[in-house]
Amino acid sequence: MLKDLHEQEDNFLELAHCHIRDSFDTFRADERSTSLHSALDSFSKARDEFGIRETEEQLQLTREQIALEQDFDQNFLETSLHDTLRSLLLSNQVKKAEQIRKQFKVTDKRWWWLRVNSLAEQRKFQELEAFSKSKKSPIGYLPFIEACVQNHGSEEVSKYISKVSPEKRIPALLKSGNVKSAADIAIQNKNLTDLDMVFKRCGPENRDVAERIRQVMNQLNKR
């Protein structure tokens, strides 16, 4: 009834929104495509360029996801572009993921986040190191360290520490549990903020380190 009302009043923008809602209320690919085409028609009549562009892209993604489900016997239709790429990478369908990445103009930063985390999640640490050397990382190298630590690869962290920018090196070392090295840098730099950060991460096993930091902080505070 609402759609009929919008159509009678030539309210094509709201009619398009109704079709968009319909498209996500169904789990059937054919019904979703039909609703999206109806939305595209309504956006065109409303001359809504944003709606036209986004609906065309969603239709394109839906077509790709239908084809992927047929090729790989996986559920793709209910996922976002990001999760579609992630599923492909975790299934080692890298070429297909790269093809879709180019098709939808996924940014380098977003792509690197996906690659780093998918490789680490699969514990493919040699491939991760090779990927880090393929070109300069647009997301820096702290994400490599975080991904390794989160996926039980703390022993891999040393490969990336030297590549991390100086201001992020202490947080990177702390993420990997290397409190002593973080303390050495903080003491050398004589930075109270960094010293306090490391001091708060010192546990019972780091009493000597904590005492060194305390002495340096006391000296700096007396100045």
Reported as a single tens digit per residue, the pLDDT across 179-214 is 888 888 889 888 888 899 899 888 888 889 888 888
Mean pLDDT, residues 97-107: 95
d(CA 194, CA 199): 9
Contact between residue 150 and residue 177 where contact means Cβ atoms under 8 Å apart: no
For 107, half-sphere exposure in the C-beta direction (CA atoms, 13 angstrom radius) is 6
CB atoms within 10 A of CB 49: 10
Which amino acid appears at position 197 of this protein?
M
- pTM of full prediction above 0.75: yes
Domain ranges of the chain: 107-177, 179-223
pLDDT digits (tens, 9 = 90+) for 110-139: 999 999 999 999 999 999 999 999 999 999
Q: What single-letter DSSP state applies at residue 135?
A: S
One-letter amino acid of 73: D
